[in-house]
Amino acid sequence: MTDKINYENNPLHGLSLQDMLTQVVDQYGFELLDAYLNIHCFKNRPTIESSLKFLKKTEWARHKLEVFYLYTFKSLPRPSSEQFALPPRDRIVPDHHKIGEPKALSFEDAEEQRKKREEKAQSHQKNGGFRQGGKGSGKGYSGARGASYGSRDGDKKRGKSSSRGETSASASKASDDPWINWR
């Protein structure tokens, strides 16, 4: 069984991190990269070498830069949800997707995106960590999330025994020892 997957259409195929970083920095500069990506290595005395060192050590930052490279610098269309779940270097880019010109970016657009991210984060915090809108919103665990659902404290309040077969009296003694369940 030779099911070869063709990664050659992916612009990251065979591209070193240093070459990618150099191309993006030459096009946009460190200040604009910091404004869009919010990665500290582009803000505090940035150089190719120091940024490269950070990106090699930090997987989330490297993925963020690779996504930026694919969908902003190379102007590829957004991938399907299955492909988006994969790391950028493992994504399969269909043959009909053609590489475009780098998008024109500005500090004003970066500021708008930053404000949208902040509003989204505040909305996320207000809803107890749940998204607003979308599938299943407003149902389920929205209010007091996990107040007594599945917790040992909730079982004790209802007079039930814990999973170790303790009575509520012995369960209250066990609650004095936080490591009782880890022995």
Q: Give the chain's domains with CATH numbers.
A: 17-103 (1.10.720.30)
CA dihedral 107, 110, 112, 115 (to 10 degrees): -120
Instruction: Name which of 96, 97, 79 is nearest 88 in CA terms.
Output: 79
Q: For residue range 70-103, list pLDDT tens digits in order.
A: 999 988 888 888 888 989 988 888 888 888 888 8
pTM: 0.63
Q: Is the pLDDT of residue 161 over 50?
A: no
Quote the tokens at residue 39.
């990665």
CA dist 26 and 103 (Å) reads 14
Contacts of residue 91, defined as CB under 8 A and 6 or more positions apart, other chains included, come to 10, 70, 79, 83, 84
Q: Is the pLDDT of residue 53 over 80?
A: yes
Q: For residue range 1-10, list pLDDT tens digits in order.
A: 445 666 667 7
Quote the tokens at residue 181.
């369940």
Output the CA–CA distances (angstroms, integers) from residue 123 to 116, 117, 129, 133, in the order listed.
10, 10, 9, 11
Q: Which amino acid is it at 91?
A: R
